[in-house]
Amino acid sequence: MNDQNKTSQSPLIELCGVTKQFQSPAGAAPVLRDVSLAVDRGEFVAVVGKSGSGKSTLLNMLTGIDHPSQGTVTVNATDIHRLSESSLARWRGKNVGIVFQFFQLIPTLSIRENLILAMDFVNSIPKNERNRRAEALLAEVGISQHADKLPAELSGGEQQRAAIARALANDPPVIVADEPTGNLDSKTATAIQGLFAGLVGKGKTVIVVTHEDVSDSAYSRTISLSDGTVVSDRKRET
């Protein structure tokens, strides 16, 4: 079996026996306990659980923002737990788009520049195409008219759309969002959900961490965490 076949047949994301514990004055505090799971291409995954259940830590494992204390994390055929900080940053920029709860756009840059900055960091899109790509992505999320505004001039929903466009800047196969609608009204939240669903339709794998009720949403899979372990992993019947 050649590598190409291996890549196409293996899960896009695979966690094997991942344990994460933090040292505190009270001793070692385990946040994830022996978590193993696999996510395939094109899945739209909701990670749910109460506060402190380990959702955000799991997301940090997937994005390489944090390293596991034990176990392995493989994303898009790369063992990311083995990468250095510099390699991880480059890998992340190319392979994972991250959307934060509080948008986290760079306030001194225009929306267009926020997108171009992400492309500049990774350098996988040719320089002369970056501006055009930024405009296309902003049109895709419906805020092309705000391209040259500062983030502070946009509403929360518009900023989150901009953040999603930035996450797509380098065309990564995986989009990870941490409570992306937690700071938005229900109407805007529904629109953002729609955007994510659209991305899945275009072949992206989207993983959303949320504490909201996901029963009526478009997620194809829901992983529930409690006390650092996966307590349920349900796939929606299609």
DSSP strands (E only) in the chain = 13-24, 27-39, 44-49, 70-75, 78-79, 96-99, 174-178, 205-210, 221-226, 229-235
Q: Please, what sign has the CA dihedral across residues 123, 125, 128, 132?
A: negative
Segment near another protein (CB under 8 A); pick from 44-52, 75-83, 100-108, 188-196: 100-108
Q: Is 25 in the site for another protein (CB under 8 A)?
A: no
Q: Is 94 in the site for another protein (CB under 8 A)?
A: yes
Q: In this complex, which beta carbon is closest to another protein, that of residue 55 or of residue 166?
A: 166
DSSP strands (E only) in 95-182 = 96-99, 174-178
Q: Which amino acid is at 60?
A: N
Q: In this complex, which beta carbon is closest to another protein, that of residue 134 or of residue 189?
A: 134
Contact pick of 49, 54, 151, 228 for another protein (by CB under 8 A):
151
Contact pick of 160, 166, 210, 228 for another protein (by CB under 8 A):
166
Q: Is 116 in the site for another protein (CB under 8 A)?
A: yes
Query: Measuring CA to CA, which residue among 79, 11, 8 is closest to residue 233?
Result: 11
* CA terminus-to-terminus distance, the chain: 30
Q: Is 148 in the site for another protein (CB under 8 A)?
A: yes
Question: Which residues are near another protein by CB under 8 A?
Answer: 60, 63-66, 85-86, 88-90, 92-94, 97-98, 100, 102-110, 113-114, 116-122, 131, 148-153, 166-167, 169-170
